[in-house]
Amino acid sequence: MTETARADDAGPVASGAIPGIGTLLAGLTLVAMFVPVRNGVDDPSVWAGTGLAVAAVLAFLVRRHGSREPQPLAAIAAGSSVGVVLFAGYALNQGVTTSLLSIPIVFVAFVTAGLTVGVAVADFFGIGVVGLKRRTSQTLVMTGVGLVGLILPQLLMILFAAPVYPFLETLPEIERLVATQLITQLGVVIGTAIVVVAFLRWTDRGLAFIDLRWPTLREIAWTVGGLIVLFGALFAISTLMQSTGVESADHSTTQQAESNPGLMLIMVPIAILIIGPFEEVLYRNVIQKSLYETFSRFGAVAVASVIFAAVHVLAYATNGLGAVIASLGTIFGLSIVLGVIYERTDNLLIPALVHGLYNALTFLNLYFIHA
């Protein structure tokens, strides 16, 4: 959220409304976590998540009924809810599948706990209903922009591929895959460009909104350091997952590398020239920078990273829900690093280069593993 609550964030009902919303969401989280317990599930992560949900509910209740120390209670509610998100995600990953109307009930807790974190942070910074509504509205708008940026390139890829599909079918497999990948990336370039330009026109912004300039020595240092931190973060997250028995999902590119490792050599320049720059211009320069208007800069980094992770779900869609959540958690962590790099440099070129080089090195690694 913002570093300080703005004048129009608070209102006459701000002191009670936000804790009330938090109590409702924390209560829903508690119910969702308790259902597996009631059904006889004795998984420690479910019990731990239930206990933390109780703590969040109690913190909001005490906060709502006149506590003179709102920030410690809001911090307890936020921390407890983050814990619920982690334990619920872990339970899903380990196969806790109690369902309600075909939806895993623990997944409901995962989502509502995430929303509770946002409300608790708002309460911590003294943000009222008006401010919360404004931030929620902008988050939904930016999520929509991210979804359009995901869907439009796919539609264009289908449009471009349809006329040449009969020809592609006559090619050897590796050549067909390379041609398909090139068509896909053409869709990414044109689709992302359309979304970015349309957004700039819709919001009455010009191309000056795009933070692109030749890097300084300091920014070059951020590029090198950012790449090191990105791989360090990946190593730390992977080590933590392995030590706790968390199973992650395979990216669709990894699945392609297993059967056609040579394709990864084509992906190296694509990563540097297309994937890094075009994902970063949309998710960092457009979405994250726009979120600066209502969130603090770090708050914008966090929210943009949630959006960035969420739109990657299709890349892991062939895997189970728990494994997908684990992989999206990794994407979220890496996106935080990229977001901080952009926030510190205000130069799109730096996170684009770091992102592209990271993906390129990952593709090279896949090639040497499967070649």
How confident is the model at residue 260, as a pLDDT?
A: 87
The tens digit of pLDDT for each residue in 171-205 reads 888 888 889 999 999 999 999 999 999 999 999 99
Q: Which domain holds residue 279?
A: 132-370
Residue 8 covered by a domain: no
**Is 9 among the domain residues?**
no
Does the residue 44 lie in any domain?
A: yes
Chain position carrying tokens 């240092």 = 221
Q: Which residues of the chain have pLDDT under 70?
A: 1-15, 67-68, 97-103, 318
Residue 4 within any structural domain of the chain: no
Task: Report the chain's terminal Cα–Cα distance, integer Å.
Answer: 47
pLDDT for the residue 104: 82
Residues 69 and 148 in one domain: no
**Is the domain of 104 the same as that of 161?**
no
Query: What local confidence, expressed as pLDDT, does residue 97 receive?
Result: 65
Rounded Cα distance, 114 and 55, in Å: 15
What is the tally of structural domains in the chain? Answer: 2
At 318 the pLDDT is 67
On whether residue 112 sits in a domain, the answer given is yes
| Pair (291, 180) in one structural domain | yes
Pair 116, 200 in one domain: no
- Are 348 and 215 members of one domain? yes
**Same domain, yes or no, for 258 and 162?**
yes
Q: List for the chain the helix, strand, coil content (%; round to 5).
A: 80, 0, 20
Half-sphere exposure for 342 (CA within 13 Å, toward CB): 37
C-alpha to C-alpha distance for 312 and 275, rounded to whole angstroms: 13
Q: What pLDDT sits at residue 210? A: 97
The one-letter code for the residue type at 72 is: P
Domain assignment of residue 5, yes or no: no
pTM of the model: 0.90
Q: What does the alpha-carbon distance between residue 145 and residue 141 come to, in Å, rounded to a whole number?
A: 6
Domain end: 127, 157, 173, which one? Answer: 127
- CA 53 to CA 33: how far, in whole Å? 8
Looking at residue 40, its pLDDT comes to 81
On whether both 205 and 68 belong to a single domain, the answer is no
| CA–CA gap between residue 147 and residue 150 (Å, rounded) | 5
- Is residue 6 situated within a structural domain? no
